[in-house]
Amino acid sequence: MQPRTGFTVAMPVYGLFVIFVSPCACEPQPFEGRVSHGRYFEYHDREQEALCPELLPLLDEHAESVGSLIGSAPSSGDAFRYYKFRSFQELQASDDCPSESGGCAFAGEVLSPKAFDTHELSHAYTFAAWHGPFNALLSEGVAVALSCSPAARYTFEGAAPDWRDLLSLSGEEPNDNQTQAANHENAVRQYAAAGAFTTNLARRYGWARLAELYQRVPPGVSELDFQRQFSQVLPASVDHEWSLALGNGDAPACVPDPQCALDAQEDGQRLGAACVGAERPIDLVANIGARISFVGTGFTLQSCSDSTQTYWFVGSEATAVQTTHVLQLPRDRYLLVYDRDLPASDFALESYFMHSLVGDCGVSEPLQLEGSQPTIIDLPPGTTTGWLALNGASRYLVAPHPSILSGKIELCDQCGLAASSCSAIPVGESTAVTVTAGSWLKLDNLISLDLAQIRFTPTSVDP
């Protein structure tokens, strides 16, 4: 299982791995629904839309490529069962998965609100191939290593979790002293650490040795027993391997996600609306940026070339408020990961663009701010200096995110030396401004380690 994507996540999960232990006749079969067949899959869903034509071939390809790593080729005589729920709420109401988990898996079976859930699929393959009993640190680590999910943009330098605390890793623990967002971030960080650990073991010793270790370590193992089993299978200590994997902060990822090989999303495409299937990537190799609108709490873009490069785009908790992001990222192909609670038709890639958002005077088209919903400008990490033409027709509250470490932001009435009237926009505060045709944003040595986000909220909308 895995933490849900997005930040609207709540918690409890106690000793839930017990339910995965039996490989057996106790798997739930939550509904029959519409049944489609791939070479290795029996796919159940209850959607209105057709399955996308590439979905079942992609699942088959995934089963083969992961199967070749874990030493167990899929067999068409023994199909994996996939239950695609319509929403997270529907999954939760079924009671077939642990409470609040984003999906779950059994040997050869996946239950998920996602049409193509690589994390749960990886569990289903390994549970079927390696059998139990298994330990949560290793089984979650293997699922993350094989799926790049959940995605995390972390280096562990100086603040890596301790493996001893992750032996019973099981999603988000309730913690009254933390906000939901902090709790969620902590869970994703723990999963990422487990993934880095197992990815490192597989790279150094091979998947077969990792499988041997996996099969020897039961759930509920003590620290001492874990260390003992570890040193019987591998010629090293847990502490040493843990520090190798997490110490440098460059713990590599995982098996490339086959969704990255699909044709990219096109301008104007309403994501996920036309058919039930895998998400097509956002192509910022040929394009520099994109304008994306959605309703919901947020979404993530995950780099196809390096899964540790992920970027989070915040939305709104309010159900009816649409948010627009105008984003520029380092050149790459990205997979979109969004909260499945969203109706997919409310999520649209409006357009790509080919120019840098910030440049000299007159270089770019004015960026149109929305008049009735927030627009967030997302500039790539690093240093940014230059001008950005704006167009708007009303009053906005503009709020540069505190992740911008230093630099100066001003709103001017003209570009360049001709700018006679500029007003400062401090970072971490909300400043009321009027944006009309001909307004310019002046950015002077903006430095940000993450995306530099500048939010414009029309004053008629609650910020």
Question: Smaller CB distance to Zn ion: residue 94 or 414?
Answer: 94
- Residues in touch with Zn ion (CB under 5 A): 1-2, 140, 143
The minimum distance between CB 150 and Zn ion, in angstroms, equals: 9
Instruction: Give the integer Cα–Cα distance in Å for 228 and 337.
Output: 39
The minimum distance between CB 188 and Zn ion, in angstroms, equals: 12
Residue-wise DSSP of 79-147: PEEEEE-S-HHHHHHHT-S-TT-S-EEETTEEEESSSS-HHHHHHHHHHHHH-S---HHHHHHHHHHHH
Q: Which of 128, 105, 138 is nearest to 217 (CA)?
A: 138
Tokens of 408: 């100066």
Question: Smaller CB distance to Zn ion: residue 218 or 359?
Answer: 218
The minimum distance between CB 177 and Zn ion, in angstroms, equals: 25
The minimum distance between CB 377 and Zn ion, in angstroms, equals: 35
Question: Smaller CB distance to Zn ion: residue 34 or 189?
Answer: 189
Question: Smaller CB distance to Zn ion: residue 117 or 283?
Answer: 117
Instruction: Give the integer Cα–Cα distance in Å for 146 and 374.
Output: 37
The minimum distance between CB 107 and Zn ion, in angstroms, equals: 14
Q: What are phi and psi of 282, to 5 degrees?
A: -95, 125
Question: Smaller CB distance to Zn ion: residue 201 or 367?
Answer: 201
The minimum distance between CB 191 and Zn ion, in angstroms, equals: 8
Residue 32 class from Cβ within 10 Å (0-12 exposed, 13-18 middle, 19+ buried)?
exposed
Question: Smaller CB distance to Zn ion: residue 143 or 251?
Answer: 143
The minimum distance between CB 112 and Zn ion, in angstroms, equals: 11
Q: Which of 87, 46, 47 is nearest to 339 (CA)?
A: 87
Please state the length of the chain: 463
Q: Which of 340, 343, 347 is nearest to 111 (CA)?
A: 340
The minimum distance between CB 145 and Zn ion, in angstroms, equals: 11
Question: Smaller CB distance to Zn ion: residue 141 or 281?
Answer: 141
399, HSE (Cβ side, Cα atoms, 13 Å): 13
Instruction: Give the integer Cα–Cα distance in Å for 204 and 254.
Output: 14
Question: Smaller CB distance to Zn ion: residue 147 or 384?
Answer: 147
Tokens of 341: 């609670």
Instruction: Give the integer Cα–Cα distance in Å for 217 and 139.
Output: 10
Tokens of 248: 């440098």
